[in-house]
Amino acid sequence: MEPASLPSDTAAEPVCPQCGHSVPPLRYCVRCGSPLDRQGRRRGFAAHPGEPARALRLFSTLFPHLPRAGYDSFRQALALGLAVVAVLVVAGLFPLALAGAAILVPALFVLYFIEVDLYERAPLTIIAATLAWGALVGAVLGVAARLASGSAAADTTSDLSAAVPAAIALALLGAALATIGPLTLVRHRAFNDVLDGATFGAISGAVYASTVALVRAGDLFAAGLHPGGDPVPWLVRLATLGVAQPILLAAISGSVCAAFWLRYRAPVRDRGALGWLGKPAWAALAGVALLAGATAARVLLDLFGGLLLTTIATALGLLWLRATIHVGLLEEANEAEVGPPVHCANCGRMTPGHTFCGWCGVSLQAQPKSPANLAVSPDPAKPAP
């Protein structure tokens, strides 16, 4: 049975079997997030302990601040967006379908920022600038791609020996430029967590990829709303360029940016926690390999083969991003003293102020950085209003 209030008797505090610290006698260690009722390292994802740390999960990986209760609304929004795109394709409205597919993933990120009230204390211009930077880079690279290929809709040319290196070079240049914008925030005092780097990198990468797809298809709108063609290839093409590619770029950019935060903002003792993927140079090379492989597959293979390889690369990118977020959140547990109670947005209870919620094990660093989450309820057994 749960206690009516937060324990205050420090003499009765148990020792966490994972980190060795004396912590309040709740369900989880407030320092490292490990369960206090059993031995061994925690296996749950730091942002959402009910999920495995090493698992392919779309929403909790791309939107780690999102409370568990918000998953259904985001799933419904994604399903609705995909359904609208499919209906437009079946109706032969290919340009409109492409526009809808291109804005779907960035729209989810914008809804995410609004839903969790993310970075309420940060200037709006910083968030808007991150979105604008990804769109600007995407527009410039989209125009360059159209000029280089001579076709807005085609992904291949007659000379594959020239098309493959050109496509890879253009994709890598765009991804690098999209990542540069978020990296300018690595020294910003308001964004000192690894999760900050992952968040800004992911949104910039997703907006860049979607804008490229939209700009490259600009010629389609000149042909009218009914350009003609078989709907099936269009569905595959839109799944690749409008869904898989933006998520892949979000995962790569978020992971690479997070590596810089881990290297330059995390304590020195924690910088090797992610292994070689935590080193910016190696993280950049891993991103190059994933993006180059997906781009080459799209040029060399048919539409279905390109979608398959891009989806595989996207899955690997999501696993990488999830591992980065997990390590970043675990590394937030330091030698700081346990603070006054704070409100946990995930379970709605008051928990001792540190790194993890003592009741549900969720990382408090993965919750909205809003003053509402810092409010202390007069009765610690009740959620703050």
Residue range 248-275, pLDDT digits in tens:
999 999 999 999 988 887 766 666 777 8
E strand or H helix that includes residue 340: strand 339-343
Nearest Cα neighbor of 256 from 291, 296, 294, 285 is 285
Answer whether residue 2 shows pLDDT above 60. no
Is residue 169 scored above 70 in pLDDT?
Answer: yes
182-186, 292-296, 325-329: lowest mean pLDDT where?
A: 325-329
How large is the average pLDDT for residues 288-293? 95
Residue 267: what pLDDT?
A: 66
Decide: 194 and 266 in contact? Cβ < 8 Å.
Answer: yes
Q: What pLDDT shows up at residue 153?
A: 41
Q: What are the b/e assignments for 155-194, b being 16+ CB within 10 Å?
A: bbbeeeeebbebbbebbbebbbbbbebbbebbeeeebbbb
Q: Which of 84-88, 115-119, 346-350 has the highest mean pLDDT?
A: 84-88
Residue 202: Cβ-neighbour burial (10 angstroms; 0-12, 13-18, 19+):
buried
The pair of structure tokens assigned to 293 is 């492989």
pLDDT of residue 180: 94
Taking a C-beta distance cutoff of 8 angstroms, is the pair 105, 135 a contact? Answer: no
Residue 368 has pLDDT above 70, yes or no: no
**Which regions of 263-338 does DSSP assign to beta strands (E)?**
none
- Residue 18: band (very low, low, confident or very high) from pLDDT cuts 50, 70, 90: low
Please give the pLDDT value at position 188.
Answer: 83
Predicted confidence (pLDDT) per residue in 171-208, tens digit: 999 999 999 999 998 888 778 778 888 889 999 999 99
Q: Which residue has the higher pLDDT, 286 or 368?
A: 286
Using 50, 70 and 90 to split pLDDT, how confident is the model at 381?
very low
Strands 339-343 and 350-353: antiparallel
